[in-house]
Structure 1
């Protein structure tokens, strides 16, 4: 501050900006009373009970839980569209999700459930200052809901008015004049109200202004950062999380190679029915019947249902089990694409782990329900995104000496089970295709649905292994490549857009919905999308409601 060349405050002459000067007028004293903060126990997803400090707020219409506690409890989140506003109509930063919380009192048998919005934080530590309750003469024969109510601690749960008054009981004890009172609740006795502690309004104002400035600056920085991240084309630094490192360590410790088996050679029939899909699991030895004397080993049952994918060229119907490499064709003139057949089911899980993938099935209502366990990786489960890709990478490492080109291709040119690669000539691409196919076959993986923009390469592929083309309205054929429509004959990407029915009332919601339907991850039609976004900006500047007619 001594070296600062800026001027001083024009009001008091001190070393600060004039607009930051706090008036020295006689300040108003603001009364500050303790708030109700009982300690309760909340139940986690595993059934464990975790202590939590709670704020009882009769002025809140909703219950709120911090993201920290929701994450600790591992509770499933559901989408929520509830908007919350605070003092001065300020928006409350909720995360658009809610959780169902079961809690109980540690002083009685009372137990209840509530649905709470998830938010980054509820309030500062409460009470704002640690107080000294010596001399308050709190009766020794009552059970306090928070024996350490006088210590400033974190608040992780707010219980609103819809449940607050159900918690209140008959019973109130008034302490000495100027001290809080004791209120009996189903959670125990709480210390609240009363109190003559005061704080200068000027100091409170200065603290509030400072916090508001810091919060506003943080929100603006976050908005700008997110805007530039969306528009930036630079690659971020990829760092492995602790969980990803643990997955890698577990894989390296427990993986083992299986002999190649001819279990994936049969191609599924078009429009296969549900029971045939389940039977295929059994025929391919990807699922096994659990004997009745081993049913106690089953740890988890997966719900399953079917989905239809009309634009699939192989399997129209699939059964989904609900368990809760940078790729570029670059400048190669000859492109090659392929797909790993039933990639997830090519990887077998360890015998003990298969009992966490049990399902119930019977072919008809007349039969007895049987228990099966899925013996291969099941898409829809959390490890499904990691195990097949990591297994292919391990296979590429093991067979690098025999198939150097194929090993490099697997490590570089695969996105999950989709292969996108190329070469400078047809001969080079055929060698890539041969080595990659033979390498993967040693691990039980089968490549299929081959496609190329070079006729010499395409003619070398067996008809049963070629990709089946879809058709645009103009008759041109195309295939899907990572969600993009690729026309191999012309070697171009094509974009199709089906305009939605024109609404008699064009609005901001309709404009945004239309723009969001344009899938262009590479930015190839950026000029077209940019015009649409500019139009959306103009609509936004009009400050219209979502369903208000556009000018």
Structure 2
């Protein structure tokens, strides 16, 4: 359970990952809870030192057990997405002999679902308890936590025969570096100026000077022979109205 901005507790799905140096929360979860965030410029690096993007901020979560009897403060970085739905495919409900008497933290562990929070090694010690259950090879093991027993490991005896999986990987970081390289090597495009633009450029070069107080002074590029219309009479009438108004007030 995670506390929102009004103090109400909302359910969330968390993943314990002792291979992560930091804890994370999804942008969607933060928006749902409407929690205040602080700025963060942390770059997230994944497997193979690939850049996983920049954190969209940092937020402190108030996390509790389902019964709300124990509360914890967890500092997390905000990411658009932590991982794909877990498990990757639905598992048929079955009973493993070594897990039958354990109260599991996730009642719907067998159904794929989104991960809202990832608790890394920086915060995991708050939640782990003594207790580890291991079964036969190919069955998941269970770790005792304040939320209940969590499952990890393989479930090979429930999986369908392996299928071929095709993946596509695009290294955006390398693509951006190559793009910047060509931008630096490319000659700047030639700019053709109109007569008025050329006059402004020359005026800037000829009249710019530095004042004693450090400010720059440059003449305004005024157009010549500009018709302003017949506005003299209208301006005189406006001036006379203002004079009569000031005289009345005096």
Report the TM-score, using the length of structure 1 for normalisation.
0.31
Change in CA separation of 1:74 and 1:201 when aligned onto 2, cut-off 3 Å: same
Decide whether the 8 Å contact of 1:61 with 1:160 is kept in 2.
yes
- Give the match for residue 196 of structure 2: none
Give the match's secondary structure for 2:74. strand
Q: Distance in 2 between matches of 1:159 and 1:203?
A: 31
Change in CA separation of 1:199 and 1:132 when aligned onto 2, cut-off 3 Å: closer
Decide whether the 8 Å contact of 2:98 with 2:134 is kept in 1.
no
Q: Distance in 1 between matches of 2:74 and 2:236?
A: 66
Report the Cα offset of residue 461 of structure 1: 9.1
Which of 30, 51, 57 pairs up with 2:11? 51
Report the Cα offset of residue 196 of structure 1: 3.4
Report the Cα offset of residue 63 of structure 1: 1.2
The CA deviation string for residues 351-396 of structure 1, in whole angstroms up to 9 with x for no partner, is xxxxxxxxxxxxxxxxxxxxxxxxxxxxxxxxxxxxxxxxxxxxxx
Give the match's secondary structure for 1:161. coil
Which of 71, 74, 77 pairs up with 1:114? 74
Report the Cα offset of residue 115 of structure 1: 1.7
Report the Cα offset of residue 101 of structure 1: 1.0
Decide whether the 8 Å contact of 1:136 with 1:176 is kept in 2.
no
Report the Cα offset of residue 178 of structure 1: 2.0
Report the Cα offset of residue 170 of structure 1: 0.9
Decide whether the 8 Å contact of 1:86 with 1:92 is kept in 2.
yes
Q: Distance in 2 between matches of 1:457 and 1:88?
A: 79
- Give the match for residue 92 of structure 1: 52
CA RMSD of aligned residues (A): 3.7
Report the Cα offset of residue 138 of structure 1: 5.9
Give the match's secondary structure for 1:179. coil
Decide whether the 8 Å contact of 1:108 with 1:188 is kept in 2.
no
Question: Does residue 123 of the first structure (1) align with residue 78 of the second (2)?
Answer: no
- Give the match for residue 196 of structure 1: 156
- Give the match for residue 5 of structure 1: none
The CA deviation string for residues 53-101 of structure 1, in whole angstroms up to 9 with x for no partner, is 1111111111111111111111112111222100111111234411111
Q: Distance in 1 between matches of 2:9 and 2:146?
A: 18
Report the Cα offset of residue 123 of structure 1: 0.6
Decide whether the 8 Å contact of 2:99 with 2:133 is kept in 1.
no
Kindly report which structure 2 residues correspond to 1:155-170, keeping only aligned pairs within 5 A, or say none.
155-170=115-130
Q: Distance in 2 between matches of 1:457 and 1:161?
A: 80
Q: Distance in 2 between matches of 1:175 and 1:461?
A: 98
Q: Distance in 2 between matches of 1:94 and 1:199?
A: 37
Q: Distance in 1 between matches of 2:77 and 2:35?
A: 12
- Give the match for residue 62 of structure 1: 22
Give the match's secondary structure for 1:52. coil
Report the Cα offset of residue 141 of structure 1: 4.3
Decide whether the 8 Å contact of 2:3 with 2:61 is kept in 1.
yes
Gaps of 5+ in 2: 180-226, 244-250
Change in CA separation of 1:44 and 1:130 when aligned onto 2, cut-off 3 Å: same
Gaps of 5+ in 1: 1-40, 224-332, 335-423, 431-454, 464-551
Change in CA separation of 1:43 and 1:176 when aligned onto 2, cut-off 3 Å: same
Change in CA separation of 1:159 and 1:457 when aligned onto 2, cut-off 3 Å: farther
Decide whether the 8 Å contact of 2:41 with 2:54 is kept in 1.
no
- Give the match for residue 132 of structure 1: 92
Structure ranking higher on relative contact order (CA contacts 8 Å, 6+ apart): 2
Question: Does residue 153 of the first structure (1) align with residue 113 of the second (2)?
Answer: yes
Report the Cα offset of residue 45 of structure 1: 0.6
The CA deviation string for residues 14-43 of structure 1, in whole angstroms up to 9 with x for no partner, is xxxxxxxxxxxxxxxxxxxxxxxxxxx111
Q: Distance in 1 between matches of 2:163 and 2:237?
A: 80
Report the TM-score, using the length of structure 2 for normalisation.
0.65
Change in CA separation of 1:170 and 1:458 when aligned onto 2, cut-off 3 Å: farther
Give the match's secondary structure for 1:93. strand
Change in CA separation of 1:114 and 1:135 when aligned onto 2, cut-off 3 Å: closer
Decide whether the 8 Å contact of 2:99 with 2:142 is kept in 1.
no
Decide whether the 8 Å contact of 2:42 with 2:55 is kept in 1.
no
- Give the match for residue 394 of structure 1: none
Kindly report which structure 2 residues correspond to 1:313-392, keeping only aligned pairs within 5 A, or say none.
none
